Structure 1
């Protein structure tokens, strides 16, 4: 009897026709791997550094401006420049993570941010404060790049969407902590309040540095170093079953160019597995699949930030002031509501990613963003042209800001990091992800550093109409260019890409082939059941 094919996590593999009655029982969904869950949590905590900085700066700039006598342009630059500084960290982190490993790169990110937070807390003038922002920005860049890469590489396929959404969860948690810190220290004298707000950011980085030491190294990085024995031990702990661990190890060895029959604990790995020549394969001579992957990863990060999320999060006190809220205390309370909405809906998103897939969540999320941005633009324009306070319009503005951050957090926010960290081939993953992160930070920096100037030039309502237009273009891009990746192993992603907008027909062909293989398997299985019954 011919071997039957069994599909495991999206990969069809041949196995001998050894069956038992247990084989015909309905498959149970594997329990959540607690060890992989703990690793994902610890790695993703690095993202709290960026979230805290964004959240705390939204309130701190009001007090820094008065204390250091800064202009509005200087405040724009101060608030947004960390995103451009983080580019250095993002680019260097790709190389560093291939050199010293994913785990120690996370420790390094925490150490650099700790130094930056201390410098900002003790800043005596604008120049000193900008230097602290520079150091903290490098740490943020490291954290943004390495957290999703490590989490994707350590996660079993059944939970990868759930686990790789954790960095966005911690960004949102950091934003909320920053808002709470603003409110807590706002009662202090102005020259002390903002220093405590910024300096307290050093505490999470200390906790992070200690906790990460308990994590294992990424199994994919271990294979790239030829440490097959160590990689196998990590995969045994982070997979849903021993069989899945063996399949994952075989796939990673194939991607790293190591023969499948090689079982030595330590093997010699070819030089290109350590990162050399990666930029050439990414940018100069990419295959159609790699080109499609790169466009998808860079594009999703561009649209994530170009739709204005950092402008809303960073300048929410300004937006609420334009809506008619004048009290600093009320503005900070409304801003805290934004943080709570972001955090609650990102938690909802984590449980939906592996249940309903990336595409449905992403497209629904962007549709909600378009509606809330357009409504916010209309309402702010009405308020701008009114000579009296319109309570109903203020209420709609607050509701639409909350609706926008909620829509963003349930799809666009986490999926940008999940998607870009899982679609690159193993050898290109670190540098490819760093390119997506770099685009994310460039656009975020431009939006953050120009938002005040932008709304003064085209009105506050016009700024949100612009963001709504960009979000509309992003919906079309996602619908045509991004295939579904739910349930695929990391090594099996490349087959989805390379057809660009025609990927649906290629995907349908793959599904058709797998359906035929499954039906063939079912015929063999039914024949065996009949033989058992007759016997």
Structure 2
């Protein structure tokens, strides 16, 4: 089909369904910039077998993998009809057995996949420990550096000291938001996912040690700013690395290990704070310096992981991508299937976004409709993580508990309890994020976080002489953490690592993490001043109100992504935001009210998305290409 005809068809509202071969382009009713019908399609569906085999042959020649042609052809047939593999001719017995095993044992995968997730989890633990090193140190390092008058009422340096303590605490987040996250795109381009994670680990080994030997608050601030480079690179890359290596059916559970082990790192940080409590003048130095410990195995272990197949395909290294997939899947047929299917979807992405450099890729986050919707959704979940108020506790729990009437030691013990609750209650998300979904977890947990924060704030009205005061405040803070951990805790990094097309995944994730960490830095800098101005009750009430605002934003701007391949999400985010919002108010919200407020079990909700053809992942697939399936009653 000639180029002029393509222009004419696109002008008429059609969209090319581009497949690897140059000999065929078929027009479908799906416009990938404006998917008004909310259809999700397999690009290989309904292609005659002869044409499919010719396209695979051309693909193999183009990518210099002709020696794999018979395997690729069988893999393409499976990709075309992933649930109908029993009826595909030519599959070998061991290939059929591997596909059956994959279908019935979704949690059983090669050790290389789980080792990759373990290394990513260590990276997350580094992130969490880095965040809490300053929590206990806040009780002593300001005094040593002459900025410890912030809590002295009426002291002439009170305002300055409040801002300086906040600035030192915010250092890693400032460094991440303004430098580390934005270095992620070029570092990934030149060094790959593994190389970028190694660079980030080096920063995370050296900077805590540098902070521990600092002699002035300015030196401590510089080391924490440099730590932010490592945190930004790691936070932008590790979730992508885990997402790109994971099968779609369990991708959410594996990628959410980022937050679960970040919570574990926060818990370890609190453990370290408490363990060295009696170390005298060097206590705060040990508390800050201990964060280097988990970064060491990250430095070493990352090079034993297979590189991301999608990154290798992006660099046109298809043979290496196949070998990487082979390590991550049990059988060659699974690797060949995924290689060809991912390639087909990447061709569609290339048709949507075209070629671009770093600057234009960043601008396209806000100009290409499909990418812009992902940008809005990732921005929403990331800023909501700061709006919910979790980091006022993660950064300043020791200070909060001291204000509640605890001694310094008891404040550290109470902070330890917060870290433990935060980690333990992250586990439920491991089992629910791919069943209930990302969106449902968020919509359930935000109202709970709002009322628990409000209750914690009102608990400060209990007289200090009452021995129950500290216990009640701690109880509601722990309940807040228990609701946060399975919802807004794991979802933002998991979600943001999924939603962008491969062409914009690094810069998109950089944007998302920069959003999160920039507002974390704002929170860290301003919290001492907000606490001074609003008091404890007013501060907690303020963040309770922000939870309600975040709930509304998520309801309108965040589509569900569970159990879809990364490439199939192109169709989800091709649905216009206006249509998605209208569906939530006209269909989803009335259904929810009838079902869960009026308890009408016969309430029906018209699905937003329809699935056409044989899909690669999730429970929305079908063995009948004409069948339409629905997903999620909340859209």
What TM bracket, shorter-length normalisation?
Answer: 0.7 to 0.9
- Superposed displacement of residue 492, structure 1: 0.4
Does residue 280 (structure 1) correspond to residue 363 (structure 2)? The answer is yes
Distance 1:218 1:63 in 2: 44
Distance 2:136 2:557 in 1: 38
What is the match of residue 151 of structure 2? none
What is the match of residue 58 of structure 1? 135
Contact map agreement 1:112 1:138 (CA 8 A) in 2: yes
Does residue 349 (structure 1) correspond to residue 426 (structure 2)? The answer is no
2:271 to 169, 180, 190: 180
Deviation string 1:440-480 (CA, Å, 9 cap, x unpaired) is: 01110011111111021112111111111111111122122
- Superposed displacement of residue 202, structure 1: 2.0
What is the match of residue 114 of structure 1? 205
What is the match of residue 359 of structure 1? 439
Higher helix proportion: 1
Deviation string 1:366-414 (CA, Å, 9 cap, x unpaired) is: 122112112112222x23xx4x423334322111111111211111011
Contact map agreement 1:9 1:489 (CA 8 A) in 2: no
Other structure's SS at 2:487 match: helix
Contact map agreement 1:30 1:240 (CA 8 A) in 2: no
Contact map agreement 1:282 1:432 (CA 8 A) in 2: yes
- Superposed displacement of residue 37, structure 1: 1.7
Other structure's SS at 2:304 match: coil
Other structure's SS at 1:159 match: helix
**For residues 39-54 of structure 1, what are the structure 2 equivalents within 5 Å?**
39-54=116-131
- Superposed displacement of residue 12, structure 1: 7.5
Aligned CA distance change for structure 1 residues 84 and 358 (closer, same or farther; 3 Å) = same
- Superposed displacement of residue 353, structure 1: 1.3
Does residue 465 (structure 1) correspond to residue 541 (structure 2)? The answer is yes
Does residue 198 (structure 1) correspond to residue 288 (structure 2)? The answer is yes
More deviation, 121-130/44-53: 44-53
More deviation, 164-173/388-397: 388-397
Deviation string 1:276-325 (CA, Å, 9 cap, x unpaired) is: 74223223x312x2211110001110111122111111111121122222
Aligned CA distance change for structure 1 residues 13 and 224 (closer, same or farther; 3 Å) = farther
Contact map agreement 1:10 1:489 (CA 8 A) in 2: no
What is the match of residue 481 of structure 2? 405
What number of residue pairs does the alignment pair up? 505
Contact map agreement 1:156 1:240 (CA 8 A) in 2: no
Aligned CA distance change for structure 1 residues 216 and 273 (closer, same or farther; 3 Å) = farther
What is the match of residue 236 of structure 1? 326
Distance 2:393 2:424 in 1: 17
Does residue 219 (structure 1) correspond to residue 309 (structure 2)? The answer is yes
- Superposed displacement of residue 108, structure 1: 0.1
Unaligned runs of 5+ in 1: 261-269, 524-535
Distance 2:47 2:226 in 1: 59
What is the match of residue 308 of structure 1? 389
- Superposed displacement of residue 155, structure 1: 0.7
What is the match of residue 577 of structure 2? 500
Other structure's SS at 1:413 match: coil
Does residue 392 (structure 1) correspond to residue 468 (structure 2)? The answer is yes
What is the match of residue 455 of structure 1? 531
Contact map agreement 1:58 1:315 (CA 8 A) in 2: yes
Aligned-residue RMSD, C-alpha: 3.3
Deviation string 1:473-495 (CA, Å, 9 cap, x unpaired) is: 11122122222111100000011
Contact map agreement 1:35 1:238 (CA 8 A) in 2: yes
Distance 1:517 1:121 in 2: 54
Distance 1:520 1:339 in 2: 49
More deviation, 414-423/305-314: 305-314
Unaligned runs of 5+ in 2: 1-45, 50-75, 148-160, 585-605, 615-619, 628-635
Aligned CA distance change for structure 1 residues 240 and 276 (closer, same or farther; 3 Å) = farther
2:216 to 125, 129, 132: 125
- Superposed displacement of residue 509, structure 1: 5.5
More deviation, 95-104/43-52: 43-52
What is the match of residue 167 of structure 2? 77
Aligned CA distance change for structure 1 residues 241 and 492 (closer, same or farther; 3 Å) = farther
- Superposed displacement of residue 170, structure 1: 2.2
Contact map agreement 2:346 2:567 (CA 8 A) in 1: no
**For residues 519-530 of structure 1, what are the structure 2 equivalents within 5 Å?**
520=624
Contact map agreement 1:496 1:503 (CA 8 A) in 2: no
Contact map agreement 1:4 1:17 (CA 8 A) in 2: no
Aligned CA distance change for structure 1 residues 226 and 68 (closer, same or farther; 3 Å) = same
Contact map agreement 2:253 2:431 (CA 8 A) in 1: yes
- Superposed displacement of residue 418, structure 1: 0.6
What is the match of residue 532 of structure 1? none
What is the match of residue 240 of structure 2? 149
Contact map agreement 2:176 2:517 (CA 8 A) in 1: yes
More deviation, 99-108/204-213: 204-213
What TM-score results when the alignment is normalised by the length of structure 2? 0.73
What is the match of residue 478 of structure 1? 554
What is the match of residue 100 of structure 1? 191
Does residue 28 (structure 1) correspond to residue 104 (structure 2)? The answer is yes
**For residues 153-168 of structure 1, what are the structure 2 equivalents within 5 Å?**
153-168=244-259
Aligned CA distance change for structure 1 residues 16 and 40 (closer, same or farther; 3 Å) = closer
Distance 2:169 2:140 in 1: 13
Distance 1:429 1:522 in 2: 32
Other structure's SS at 2:381 match: helix
Distance 1:306 1:138 in 2: 23
